Amino acid sequence: MNKAQLVEAIADKLGGRQQAAEAVDAVLDAMVRAVVSGERVSVTGFGSFEKVERPARYARNPQTGERVRVKKTSVPRFRAGQGFKDLVSGSKKLPRGGEVAVKKAPKGSLQVAAKKAAAKKAAAKKAAPAAKKAAAKKAPAKAAAAKKAPAKATAKKAAATKKATAKKAPAKKAPARKTTAKKTTARKR
């Protein structure tokens, strides 16, 4: 279904093609603007749209095999909601034409979800300094345990690591040799 077909499907419910086209444009514009600004757009039962950062990386040119650097970028991501997934998988039946397939969220549930998210962020901020202190206390204990470990054990681990990395390294192919065929000429007598 393309945009024109979507407008046609909505036109009957909104009372005309012009109103349906304006409604579709307004909804899509609002969603795009929110995602571009970094907000998450969630439609209960349908899914959510969000902006995701992709870090810089190296890729291969499929034609030449050359290694190419790809800059970091931002891309939109859509995650389908559970209601939408259930309808597509067939575990729930699609309602008839007059009913709405994606139900509205219960009244007040969005506010409760926002409050829960804010509470989780606040708890994470409080827990972060405590976790750093605990890690700082454990670090000296780990260092002392490492000093007590026998040298043979660490040498064995180092040898095992070298063997494992040697196995993982891809073997390099030798360049192909060019062969020249000897030409034989027949002499006429």
| pLDDT tens per residue across all 189 residues of the chain | 999 999 998 998 888 999 999 999 999 999 999 999 999 999 998 999 999 999 999 999 999 999 999 999 999 999 999 989 999 998 888 887 766 666 666 555 555 455 555 666 666 666 666 555 555 555 555 555 445 445 445 555 555 555 555 455 455 555 555 555 555 555 554
**What is the rounded distance in angstroms from the CA atom of residue 177 to the CA atom of residue 74?**
46
Per domain, the residue ranges of the chain are 106-141
pTM of full prediction above 0.75: no
Buried b (16+ CB within 10 A) or exposed e, 90-129: eeeeeeeeeeeeeeeeeeeeeeeeeeeeeeeeeeeeeeee
φ, ψ (nearest 5 deg) of residue 156: -65, -40
